[in-house]
A and B are shown apart, each in its own frame.
Chain A
Amino acid sequence: MSELVLNHLLGLQGIEPSKIYTILDTADEFLKVLDRPIPKVPPLRGITVANIFFEPSTRTKISFELAEKRLSADVVSFSKSGSSVSKGETLLDTVRNIEAMKIDVVVIRHHAQGAPLFLTERIKSAVINAGDGSHEHPTQALLDMMTIRGHTGGFEGLKVVVLGDIAHSRVARSNIHGLKAVGADVMVCGPSTLIPRDIEALGVKISTDVDEALDWCDVINVMRLQLERQNQGYIPSLREYQRTFGITKARLDRIGRKIVVLHPGPMNRGVEIDSNVADAPGSVILQQVTHGVAIRMAVLFLISGKERTDA
């Protein structure tokens, strides 16, 4: 593995399966590092990584920062609330500042779809998409896939349901692209108003019956429901959503076999998922968080292009 595996990571649409496997395999290695007494390795020494978060995010930002520090990178972070972005600094201004500061890798979270691509077209730094609007969130999907692989053994023919607000979800899109690339069978499930038009063009099955979806699948990935969808009129009420689409213990018990239940967090307990599912023994949801650090280490490592021979 002497050549640069990734220039940027903008999304999983169109990605070669071999790259996904390289990232997942690398992440498995880093997971072992995270279990060491001193969970720190040197490959990103001398590399400067900027985490630029134009949208509030705690979990993803901490996960990236931790991954960067575990790899010994120099890290600078700024977020919308704590910097000039809130004073109306434009994305283009940000771009120019990054260029002037000679940053090697930029991790960007932005509410505008395509913002990471916008950066790559204007700066020399490598860019990692940490979520762009309702477009993609590739590292989240990769950590989901790492978790899925750990519990199922492989993707070929695996049946995965992505449940919930598909229309507005970047996690859903990245999951669809990533899982399809490695041969999984993907179904989206949710209220019709939150399933975007022509989604079947992405090669997925569609269901609006969560019990039917549960009967079909090996894995279900439960998307977070933005609570404002109710006020926006997409669903009549959260109560109805919970009763129609919520993942409950009763629903899981009914199918009479074990499936893997993922949730990217943060959870609306009692809406899209019940606490007694999320916190059940064997729940993989916290494992996803750990895997998040390993996946981000892998992506940063593969993208930074340094000390490649160590891998």
Chain B
Amino acid sequence: MSHSADNHINPPEGWQGYNCHNLAIRGARLFDPELKLDMVSDIVILEGKISSIGPIPKDFGGDIIEGKELTVCPGLFDMHVHLREPGYEYKETVQSGCLAAVAGGFTGVAPMPNTNPPTDTPATVNFIRQQSAGTPVDVHPIGAITAGRKGDQLSEMAELNKAGVTGYSDDGSPVPTAELMRLALEYTMMSNSVIIEHAEDTSLSGKGVMDEGAVSTALGLPGWPSIAEDIDVYRCIRLAEYTGGRIHIAHLSTKESVQLVREAKARGVNVTAETTPHHLTLDCTILEGYNSNYKVNPPLRTKADIDALIEGLKDETIDAIATDHAPHAHDEKEVEFILAPFGMIGLETALGVVLTKLVKTKKITLSRAVQALSNAPRKILNLPVAKIEVGAIANLTIFNSDEKWTVDGTKMLSKSQNTPFGGWELTGRATGVVNKGIAFVRRD
């Protein structure tokens, strides 16, 4: 059965849609690290909620998904994506972004406000949410810190909070002054929301397009030095420490910043951090061919930075893995390296890259990976966590940890193809998601 009831959108080609009035998954590995659940069992979903964990009743009349070789975990959540709508629909829309999320196993995403107009009013927040209707993906817009994302004065943060916003960022740009950051931290304490900083001292990063060091020197490309991140990270930490506000560092990329966050956490500062699959796996030597698909902000760093990020992820200095999914049209990237926009897509590859490069290699555990990709970001954004327990809303990701596949940008559900992982052979792939009363499952 593949009808789409209740105004749900049709599943993408090659995918099967189910509604969750009456759905079961048979014989999958149920894996919920926070509940210390790891068992092979059937799971039954009624009216969108988990109704039983255990053998499917003999008289069960709903759809059954065969779960052999599959793992079911709490739905993955990506707290840093760019869905480009409103304003840049040729790159991505909320709908296409949600389908990309589904293909990557994400049941929730937090789109950044660097749209046109920026997400700085309840109207825009509501519009973005509406555009996700009918998909199995929770879209939780991040509000702009400053009005119009201009870096001058605070946006109407309390109004945004009433509209459901619990995280604010001017992502793409840092908050320009320490004073404005202080005000943002203080103001959001009223709602216990979090300020998400794109950490970059732009006076140091300047026109930089890649990590500053031996590789940028050889390529003759302007460098974006690691200190430009570190200095802003430290500014954020001290301001959060002084004010008591909550700061989250987006796409952490340097060894030194990992250490700054580690030390701040040890002192009890309200700081959290995310890093990305690309910063965890790609170093700047890959830029030697001037391929603009590897141009990203912050830039890819060195092998030492990668090791430090993995260490930070392991000891929970870095709380979350977020993709910074940043779609760009082909012709925007098909230009001289220095002119190409920053950004790479990541929703559809994140789980596969993390499983292949971090979990299979035993650099981090599956528990840590699932946490960092699911409930850790929800907690940072004060969102309800997803759980595999009876009575909980069915918000689940299904994946095959042994499926081998080759990344192909042209086959992605995102509107854009700017993946840095094209051609990679990955082991582990999202099979489907269950959320908002529907399930989309990849057909084999």
Contact = CB atoms under 8 A, between A and B. Distances in A.
* Same complex origin of A and B: yes
Interface of A: 13, 90-92, 110, 112-115, 117-118, 132-136, 170, 173, 196-199, 201-202
B336 A91 contact: yes
Q: Which of B214, B217, B219, B225 has the most CB of A within 10 A?
A: B217
A196 B217 contact: yes
Contact of A133 (B216, B220, B334): B220
A201 B218 contact: yes
Given A113-B290, A117-B290, A118-B290, A198 B217 contact: yes
Nearest to A177: B218
B218 A202 contact: yes
21 contacts: A91-B336, A92-B334, A113-B219, A113-B221, A113-B290, A115-B336, A118-B337, A133-B338, A134-B221, A135-B221, A136-B220, A173-B220, A197-B213, A197-B217, A198-B213, A198-B214, A198-B217, A199-B217, A201-B217, A201-B218, A202-B217
B223 interface: yes
A197 B212 contact: yes
A196 B213 CA distance: 8
B337 A112 contact: yes
A19 B413 CA distance: 47
A197 B220 contact: no
Contacts of A91: 335-336
A113 B339 contact: no
A202 B225 CA distance: 19
Given A91-B336, A112-B337, A198-B214, 10 more contacts: A13-B218, A91-B335, A110-B336, A113-B220, A113-B290, A132-B220, A135-B221, A197-B214, A201-B214, A201-B218
B289 interface: yes
B331 interface: yes
A134 to B, nearest CB: 4
B331 A92 contact: yes
A50 to B, nearest CB: 18
Contact of B337 (A13, A114, A136, A196): A114
B217 A118 contact: no
Contacts of B216: 196-197
B305 to A, nearest CB: 14
Contacts of A110: 336
Interface in B307-365: 331, 334-339
Contacts of B290: 113-114, 117-118
Given A133-B220, A197-B223, A199-B217, A92 B337 contact: no
B218 A173 contact: yes
A132 B337 CA distance: 12
Contacts of A133: 220-221, 338
A91 B223 CA distance: 23
Contacts of B223: 196-197
Interface in B240-256: none
Contacts of B212: 197
Contacts of B334: 92
A201 B214 CA distance: 6
B337 A113 contact: yes
B338 A112 contact: yes
Interface string B199-222: 000000000000011101111110
Nearest to A134: B220
A136 B217 CA distance: 11
Contacts of B219: 113-114, 135
A90 B218 contact: no
A136 B216 CA distance: 13
Contacts of B338: 112-113, 133
A113 B337 CA distance: 7
Interface centre among B220, B223, B289, B337 (most CB of A within 10 A): B220
Interface string B180-191: 000000000000
Contacts of A113: 219-221, 290, 337-338
A133 B221 CA distance: 8
Given A117-B289, A118-B290, A197-B223, A112 B336 contact: yes
Contacts of B214: 197-199, 201-202
